[in-house]
Amino acid sequence: MIRFETLIGTLALLLCIVAVTTIAAIANKVYTGREADSKRRFLDLLRRSFLKLRSPEGQREAMPVIVRSMRGRWSELAAQEISQLELPLRLDVLHALEEAGIMARLLRDAKGRLKWNRAHALQILGELKLPMSIPTLLSALEDKDADVRNVAARSLGRMKLQAAEEALIALLGKHDQAVSARIAAICIEMGPRTAPLLIKTLRDGGTKARFWAARILGEIGDPRAIRSMSESLTDPDADARSAATWAIGNIGDRSSASIVAPLLQDEVWYVRAHAAEALGKIGDASFTTALAEALRDQSWWVRRNALEALVRLGEASKPALMSALESEDRFARDSAVEALTSLGVTAIAPRREGA
């Protein structure tokens, strides 16, 4: 059996651990309580230093404080504050940081061994928006760690520099879903100025790049993309085809309805589903009969999107829906009832089963 001394020893050890844990919890509570004050004092000091930057004497006094702030535990906060400065003052600060070796250290840390150090450095580089850090940030998109890749993409997005835009678009579709989605979101934020590059990608890019380019152009809603997009409707890759269909619908150009309608017959269900959705968004009532036909599609999503498209088209789709009430397909009849009810038609008598 167990020896008494062993039991008492274990007990004593556990008691010590409990005591240490409790003390640590209390210390942490005290520390957290003071952290907010410490952060406020740090920001006050930094902002006072910024106010002094306008005169040469003030600069001499303020720069060491600012440089020091970039070395401490609140360096990310300091970088955020610096990014808010007016351009001339920001350039002065960045120059001082470069002279103090901060930039070199950040660039070095961004390629360091510890992942959170790399993330920390990349985050600050993104805030400081220095063009010299773009190659480092781009190479960090290839980092082995997903968290670091995400921070790099986010930082590139924050920079909003033209050089970063081009590089980002060149990287479309070359990464995992999370980073690609982040890059795409950044491109959307940049707006129509990225459209020419994206249109070029739509024509010449790889399969995934074409997919993402179509998605972004659709979100941006730039009508200049319609021509290239209509060429993508015959893309051999179904993802690229569906993205282009969806994008045309999102742009909502009336003249493009006739090029989208044939895709209701596409062999891939999600292309057909996007085509139905797009026709509803474009708002051209010429294809209500084709949409009513799609209510009988073998894919549920195509049928659902066709129904919603018909509701969206409003009054114009009523004749096609009335015909659908006579369909042999039960789903088509039920969908017609749902759509007509949504359009305010109350007295509906669909064909009965077996009639």
Partner 1 sequence: MNAWTASPWLMDAINITSFVILIYFSALQLVLFGLLILSYFDMRRRLAQNFYADYEAVAKSHFTFPITVLVPAYNESTGVVDSVRSVLSLDYPQHEVIAINDGSTDDTMERLRREFRLERREVVYRKSLGVTGAIRGIYRSATNPNLTVIDKEHAGKSDALNAGINLSRYPLFCTIDADSLFQENALLRVVRPFLEDPDRVIAVGGQVRVANGCRVERGRVVEPKLPTNILAAFQVVEYLRAFVASRLGLSAMNNLLILSGVFSLFRKDVVIEAGGYRAGVVTEDMELVLRLHRVMRELKRPYAVVFLPDPICWTEVPETLGALARQRSRWYRGLIQTLWLHKSLLWAKRSGSLRWIGFPYYFFFEFMGPIVELVGYILIPIAYFLGILSPVFFWAFLFLSVVSGAFLSISSVFLEELSFGLYRSWGDFAQMIGIAVLENFSYRILTLFFRLGALVDIILGRGGWGKQERAGFGRAKPAPAQL
d(CA 192, CA 230) in angstroms, rounded, equals: 19
Minimum CB–partner distance for residue 55 and partner 1 (Å)? 36
Single residue of 83, 85, 219, 325 touching partner 1 by CB under 8 A: 219
Minimum CB–partner distance for residue 122 and partner 1 (Å)? 9
Q: Where are the beta strands (DSSP E) in the chain?
A: none
Helices within the chain (DSSP H only): 4-51, 56-69, 75-83, 87-99, 102-109, 115-128, 134-140, 146-159, 162-170, 177-190, 195-204, 207-220, 226-232, 238-251, 257-260, 269-282, 288-294, 300-313, 318-324, 330-342
Q: Does 142 bind partner 1 (CB under 8 A)?
A: no
Q: Does 346 bind partner 1 (CB under 8 A)?
A: no
Exposure letters 218-228 (e unless 16+ CB within 10 A, then b):
bbbbbeebbeb
* Vertex 174 angle, CA 170 and 178, to 5°: 110
Binding positions for partner 1, 303-322, rule CB under 8 A? 303-304, 307
Q: Tell me which stretch binds partner 1 (CB under 8 A): 88-96, 149-157, 234-242, 278-286.
A: 149-157
Single residue of 49, 69, 133, 150 touching partner 1 by CB under 8 A: 150
d(CA 46, CA 318) in angstroms, rounded, equals: 66
Single residue of 44, 86, 142, 147 touching partner 1 by CB under 8 A: 147
Q: Does 329 bind partner 1 (CB under 8 A)?
A: no
Q: Does 272 bind partner 1 (CB under 8 A)?
A: no
Is there a contact between 160 and 126 (Cβ–Cβ < 8 Å)?
A: no
Q: Tell me which stretch binds partner 1 (CB under 8 A): 103-111, 174-182, 191-199, 281-289.
A: 174-182
Residue ranges binding partner 1 (CB under 8 A): 1-2, 4, 7-8, 10-11, 14-15, 17-18, 21-22, 24-25, 28-29, 32, 116, 119, 123, 146-147, 150-151, 154, 157, 176-178, 181-182, 184-185, 188-189, 215, 219, 300, 303-304, 307, 331, 334-335, 337-338, 341-342
